[in-house]
Amino acid sequence: MLADELEGLGAVTAALVWAPRAAFSIDGGFEAHARDLSVIFVDLPLVVLGGALVPLLAWALTTRWTGRPWVAALAAVTAFALGIWGLLEWWTPRQHPDPGYGPGI
């Protein structure tokens, strides 16, 4: 069924979009001073769940209202694209070194 493929594709794509932005928080920068592992334990499950559920909910609602699978697929892809755009606009983990490391003397 197309909904299952959209759900799996959404979860994988959301995690792939999430990973580069979360890399600094996982690594922590210089001597792991800025390490924030909450991005793995809190943010990653929410991003993957959202990536899986947004297309699935759009698919289910559109199928229920219209009954046409091509409209439901279009709605699911559109909802997923908007969800990824929202993730990139809203979720901004730490990207630069800790503010305590200012420029040298």
Would you give the DSSP letter of residue 101? S
**Amino acid letter at 7?**
E
CA distances from 20 to 15, 61, 87, 94 (A): 9, 32, 13, 12
Q: What is the pTM of this model?
A: 0.69
* Share above pLDDT 70 across residues of the chain, in percent, rounded to a whole number: 77
In this predicted model, which residue has the larger pLDDT, 98 or 82?
Answer: 82
Beta carbons of 10 and 80 less than 8 angstroms apart: yes
Strand, coil or helix: what is 105?
coil
Distances (CA, A) of 69 to 4, 56, 59: 13, 13, 8
Q: Which tens digit of pLDDT belongs to each residue from 5-39?
A: 777 888 888 888 888 877 777 777 667 666 777 78
pLDDT tens profile 63-77: 888 888 888 889 888
- Residue whose token pair is 């001597």: 31
